[in-house]
Amino acid sequence: MRRVQPLCIATIATIALALMTSCGHAEGARTAAPSSSPPSAAAGTTPSSGAAEATRAAEQLPRPAHVMVAIFENQDVGHVVGSAEAPYLTELAKSAATFDDAHGVTHPSQPNYLAIFSGNTQGVDSDRCPLDLKEDNLAAQLISAGRTFTGYSEGLLKPGFTACRSGRYVRKHNPWANFRGLPPSVNQPFSALPADYADLPTVSFVVPDLCNDMHSCGVAAGDAWARQHLAPYVEWAKANESLLIVTFDEDSGSSENHIATIVAGAGVRATVSHQRIDHYSVLRTLEDMYDLPPLGQATLASPLTGIWTAP
């Protein structure tokens, strides 16, 4: 058997060490490569949706002392904003934030009221009455969070009234009357609206009767009602960290369902927003303002953005 010379052994050892070192460097390079590359988007998140989330996070919503939501009926946006029949609402839109791409979610009326109040049409596709619903809703959320809610319906005979119709009042425009578990005190006639706006609940919904909501008596009648009953609140709201949201349940029946939506009050820029919104967007905004978990389809909606001044 031949003896291996010491020089050969040393040479072999040197080559082996070089190979090991080279492999170690290569493995280190493979390990380090991901950290030098841009991080990939999270699963299920596209760059555009991530940008939208960043925008919402960057724009802090106000937390108003009071928000009043006034809901009118069955008018196309062009019949209201800029119309000679609606001088007050046109004037309000110029001094407030108006959304030119706002939409109802369906036809007829009742499912739209359910959508803005509970985040879902609750499977309702008609104006049938009565309804008996047990799902969660905005009023229950606010009450559970230690805040307050009241719906004020013009023509309602008395607090807690649950009949389907009385004169020009209809329950199909009064969604809070349909949800079991809500106290009767949240269901008030419009005449119970506090004279001192500081006594308003955290969130209130105001619904005119069938004439004054533009359903039966036209745009001019509803605009005159808005000037009489909403204009004083708007001026008060500007000085008292509060908001008014004016919207419509649906348009006159088109597939586009294009409606007017105006936001006025403290911390609102006078602007025309091109953000596409619907009733779920309005609900999501109210819920985000008061740190409430979004309900139903509101989980998929973006809050109203691009209209707020710096907090």
Instruction: Compute the distance between CA of residue 42 and CA of residue 23 in angstroms, rounded to an integer.
Output: 32
Specify whether the CB–CB gap between 118 and 138 falls below 8 A.
Answer: yes
Instruction: Compute the distance between CA of residue 65 and CA of residue 78 in angstroms, rounded to an integer.
Output: 32
Specify whether the CB–CB gap between 173 and 108 falls below 8 A.
Answer: no
Specify whether the CB–CB gap between 175 and 39 falls below 8 A.
Answer: no
Instruction: Compute the distance between CA of residue 269 and CA of residue 274 in angstroms, rounded to an integer.
Output: 14
- Per-10-residue mean pLDDT of the chain, 311 residues long, equals 41 40 38 33 33 52 98 98 98 98 98 98 98 97 98 98 98 98 97 98 98 98 98 98 98 98 98 98 98 98 94 59
CATH number for 52-300: choose from 3.40.720.10, 2.40.30.170, 1.25.40.10, 1.10.1270.20: 3.40.720.10
pTM of the model: 0.82
Angle, vertex CA 187, rays to CA 185 and CA 191, nearest 5: 100
Report pLDDT for 59.
73
Sign of the CA dihedral 243, 244, 250, 254?
Answer: negative
| N-to-C CA span, the chain | 90
Strand partners, 70: 206, 246
Phi first, then psi, for residue 84 (nearest 5°) are -65, -20
Non-local (6+) Cβ contacts of 195 within 8 A are: none
Residue 251: strand, helix, or coil: coil
Instruction: Compute the distance between CA of residue 46 and CA of residue 65 in angstroms, rounded to an integer.
Output: 36
Token reading at 289 = 């303002």
Domain ranges (residues) in the chain: 1-37, 52-300
Specify whether the CB–CB gap between 67 and 242 falls below 8 A.
Answer: yes
